[in-house]
Structure 1
Amino acid sequence: MSKTFAVLLARLIFGAVFAMAMSFKFMDMQSTASYIAAAGFPFPLFLAWVAAFFELALTLAFLTGAFFSEASFLAGIYVVFLAFAFHGPSHWSGNQAEFGFFIDHFTLLAGLLFAAVHGPGDTLVVRTRSPLLAR
């Protein structure tokens, strides 16, 4: 029972993290686009919309368990990209807190990789065939 609770809580936390990120984007898409533009990326408004819908898909996957392992793996790639793009070494000299933000992404990556390998658990899961968990 404690394992089930821990897995469901972890899924809820993952879902909440990406739901919050998604909601901030949808509430102020222009600010998100400005942040993306400041990092030097082209087509910032388009990328902001793509990020928001990607985070919506991740949220749904974590909360339902559907395509959970795939979503966990893709989320891991995404957070490493975000770490380097928005909090990487070029940001550290101007603000030491950026190094902490950078490292935090790797803590999240560790949890996401663990989740990708172990799957969504057996409770409250929309079943899909996952090639990542094939044995």
Structure 2
Amino acid sequence: MSPQIVQSPWQTAALLVARLIFAAVFLMAVTFKFMGMEATAGYIAAAGFPFPLFLAWCAAILEVALVLCFLSGAFFTQAALVAAAYVLFLAFAFHGPSHWAGNQAEFGFFVDHFSFLAGLLFAAVHGPGRILALNLGWPGRA
């Protein structure tokens, strides 16, 4: 049996705001995909991936699942780890070193992914909190 963890009101608020930010980022991404799935597929094809429309739909489905997990707290740790892997993949696949020579802003986009990755890893360790969270997932996690 794990000890009861008491969170101060500001910690509870910070966890909820963080969850909302994670959900909002992925909600914006999936909204753009749904508004222009062909454009997303074109971007994926330009990066050299096969089956771009299929991959665009897979990305959209994953992002919807991540939004639901971050909002509900269900499978939160697993979702945060999957999101971290996804963000790392996106950084290298779409903004990695091969893109820097043609556009220096790509390096900034690449680096930005790592601050988001750090937040996701931190969230995976600390969980969704106790308020407004289903807390489904690995046993023993709060």
TM superposition score category, shorter chain reference: over 0.9
Contact 1:88/1:99 (<8 A) preserved: yes
- Deviation larger for 21-30 or 121-130: 121-130
Other-structure match for 2:78? 70
- Structure 1: state its 5+ residue gaps: none
Query: Cα offset for 1:131?
Result: 5.2
Other-structure match for 2:4? none
Query: Cα offset for 1:111?
Result: 0.3
Residues 1-135 of structure 1: matches in 2 within 5 Å?
1-130=9-138, 133=141
The TM-score with structure 1 as length reference comes to: 0.96
The TM-score with structure 2 as length reference comes to: 0.91
- Which protein is bigger by CA-based radius of gyration? 2
RMSD: 1.3
Contact 1:68/1:119 (<8 A) preserved: yes
Runs of 4+ in 1 over 3 A off after TM superposition: 131-134
Q: Equivalent residue of 1:128, what SS?
A: coil
CA distance in 2, matches of 1:97, 1:127: 39
Q: Equivalent residue of 2:40, what SS?
A: helix
Contact 1:116/1:132 (<8 A) preserved: no
Q: Equivalent residue of 2:16, what SS?
A: helix
Alpha carbons of structure 1 residues 127 and 73: separation in structure 2 relative to 1, 3 Å: same
Query: Cα offset for 1:31?
Result: 0.1
CA distance in 2, matches of 1:69, 1:95: 35
Aligned sequence identity (%): 68
Aligned residues: 134
